[in-house]
Amino acid sequence: MRTVLLAGSSHPQLAQELSVALGVPLGPCRIERFPDGELDVSLEADVRGAEVFVVQSLHAPVGEHLLELALIADVCQRSGAASVTAVIPYLGYARQDRRVSGREPLGARVVAELITAGRVDRVVCLDLHSRAVEGCFPRPMEHADAVPLLVEHVRATLTLPAVVVSPDLGAVKRAEAFARPLGLPVAVVHKQRLSGEEVKAQAVVGDVAGRHVVVVDDMISTGGTLVAAVETVLAHGAKGPVTVVASHGLFVGPARERLARLPLARLVVTDSVPFHGDAGFPLERVHAAPALAAAIRRLRVE
Ligand code: R5P
């Protein structure tokens, strides 16, 4: 079946890399604004009878990127596409996958329902915050896995003896998946979140003393989790500087300033979210396109 690849405006560079990885040109799709600020989307590609993949990362402003995705999916369906798949390198609101106080919305579920509200047949997501988020989607999901790419990137520079550190309980499975191919043990930091920007950590479960540390998390947002984890493992005798690996680098609010003060050997993220300017810390970005392309290839109808 014919494949058409389209891109929203959230991450044109990654969409271009995905186009190269798949050998499928990006279809023309114009996204502008009406004078009142409303989105003005017009499809210039022929999608009739085609499998359409729409690339749109849902980082800030999430609502705008989400609406763009919905409008593109709608015009594709109305123009006769055989199917529409949303390819979402970073899924905003995925951390709102459960209610803590009971007086909050289930944000991940709301976003999943908005994405699939009628015009998206299935979804491809890269390294979800938790696998449970898949349960929020009423339509099928294909997972793109960046962990093998991140493992290979770090393997070359690993100094032994080393330990993989999960900065909180939620990231333990990811840390284990990272440590296994490297044959490394795992330690876990006990984290307590105080607010959106502040976390506290004191205890470590596992042996970090005298070892080089690789901290593994799904994302770095304000950097609070990372600062607490690095300070805690160093206080427990780990050797610095520290390597950090995360699938998604948002680097919002005080993140860059915080990370610039940390003893980091390298901080490795994928390019699921665009990055602008000088980092001020040793940032290395791994291309996510091969992982997304592999997931899309599994779905394509030959
Ligand atoms: C939390 O559950 C996540 O896995 C990350 O550890 C967290 O969201 C990172 O946020 P921040 O960088 O703001 O601490």
What is the dihedral sign for C-alpha 290, 295, 300, 302?
Answer: positive
Is-contact 62 11, C-beta < 8 A? no
pLDDT one-digit tens code per residue, 67-114:
999 999 999 999 999 999 999 999 999 999 988 888 899 999 999 999
Q: Give percent above pLDDT 90 in the chain.
A: 90
pLDDT at 199: 84
- Residues 6 or more apart whose Cβ sits within 8 Å of residue 200: 191, 192, 194, 228
The CATH class, in words, for 3-145+290-299 is alpha beta
Task: Quote the pTM value.
Answer: 0.95
pLDDT one-digit tens code per residue, 157-208:
999 999 999 999 999 999 999 999 999 999 999 988 888 888 887 799 999 9
Is-contact 139 121, C-beta < 8 A? yes
Mutate-to-test residue for ligand 1 from 217, 222, 230, 257, highest number of ligand atoms within 8 A of CB: 217
Q: Do domains 3-145+290-299 and 147-271 have the same CATH topology?
A: yes
| Tokens describing residue 292 | 């997304």
Q: Which residues line ligand 1 at a C-beta cut-off of 6 Å?
A: 95, 167-168, 170-171, 199, 217-226
What residue's CA is closest to ligand 1, atom 2? 170
Ligand 1 nearest atom to the CA of residue 222, by list position: 13
Q: How far is the CA of 214 from the centre of ligand 1 (A)?
A: 16
When pLDDT is averaged across residues 228-248 and rounded to a whole number, the result is: 96
pLDDT at 191: 84
What are the catalytic residues? 191
Where are the domains positioned within the chain?
Answer: 3-145+290-299, 147-271
User: In the structure, what pLDDT confidence band is assigned to residue 250 with cuts at 50, 70 and 90?
Assistant: very high
- Would you identify the CATH topology of the domain 147-271? Rossmann fold (3.40.50)
